[in-house]
Structure 1
Amino acid sequence: MHKDHPELRLSVAIQALNQRYHETPELRHILQSDWSSFNDLSYANDNVKCFAIKLMKTRLLKVQVDAVLSTLPEKERRFIILRYRDKKSVEACAIRLERSVSQLNKWHHRILTKIAEFILFELKEDDVFQRLKIINMLEILASVIAFYETIDPTYRVVDKAAQNALRYRYDKYRQLLTAINECCRQREMEIKAKVVATKVENPGISQQEIAERCYLNAGTVSRCLRNFTQDMYPYLE
């Protein structure tokens, strides 16, 4: 559903950002709830389990949003804070950040897309060299899977198909991380591995900078990155 409706995906991200910066009384109550009050959730009634799941998802959403924001350049993070925490207009943000409105709109769309993807547990082609993001994704997926298995092993309130989908993504992303690490370990023996390792260690670096660091021409760097990305397709959406 989200894949077929891009505007819905962006709406999910906007809602998450609004929730992140503006807590309602109900949300504050959920966030302040103590896990210890649930005791052994595997023996709790369905209503308690449902509330526990709501609590987990609410807390998880904050973690996911913060994980994406932490990877942004300083001015892009500042833009999101001005826009969502301080409720400034795009025009006001443009003046404050000394950027054009059109540039901020491009930032906004790209950031919303990244947040939506993280919330939906999606890794894309551009994430192949983002090792920290992949690790964060795996840690979050592992926590969610373990939580569901602990509180509802018989699938009374947890959707079994959705849980299996999370396990499938976890396995694929774990294989992706393994493939990246294996390639990087070969950096002293293969040109492609050297290029990939340089990119993984410096995700924001340009192809020209990689070429200069690896003493290669830009065409070789481009080809190595493109070929490696294609090799990783089986592990992505």
Structure 2
Amino acid sequence: MLRRALAILILLAMLPFGLTLLYTVPAVHPISTLMVKDLATLTGYDRRWTSLDAMGPLIQHSVMMSEDGQFCAHSGIDWAALNTVINDALSGEAARGASTIPMQTAKNLFLWQGRSFVRKAMELPLALFLDTVLSKRRVMEIYLNIAEWGPNIYGAEAAARHYFGRPASELTRRQAALLAVALPNPLERNPAKPSRGLNRLAANIERRALKAGGYVGCLEP
């Protein structure tokens, strides 16, 4: 029994790495653990898989500038940002986020939600593996198709249609920025009815996306 349980644990630990290899195939459209939960609870979800080219650049650049400005430069983990967060935590300062897009993609694909040092520790090797095995474009494509944008709403295409009644490729710069700044708290932030603070954040991301330049080079076809 002990050997069997150990074998099962090893298989479960290796499953994300095997699935990551499968996700190199463009025709494979991964789903997140939250989507699995929605299916298991029979609530269903709205997700419309869309390629990066079909989404257009505005949502890509806005999300990258909002969530992970060094996405093209790091190898899955922004070590400088992570080190700053660790030092702040050790000094007793308020916790800040240092999750990169590969880390968030790993969490959404394979792990659970909520704050946890155990989960964060598991994210790191998975993010490194994702960034090594998958191209930057593929990581971004998966992320933009599994990110939660509201109750039972996943992916940029479904979010664009739900909040603004148009496909992601037809979003304005401000609409793309509003979707981007909603990501950290998608259950509380409504891009279609932004507060003054959310509008202020979106204006900042809109400016940053306009000047992104070489920062977004890895997303070019």
What is the TM-score when the length of structure 2 is the normalising length? 0.26
The structure with more radius of gyration: 1
Which structure is richer in relative contact order (CA contacts within 8 A, separation 6 or more)? 2
Larger helix percent: 1
What is the TM-score when the length of structure 1 is the normalising length? 0.25
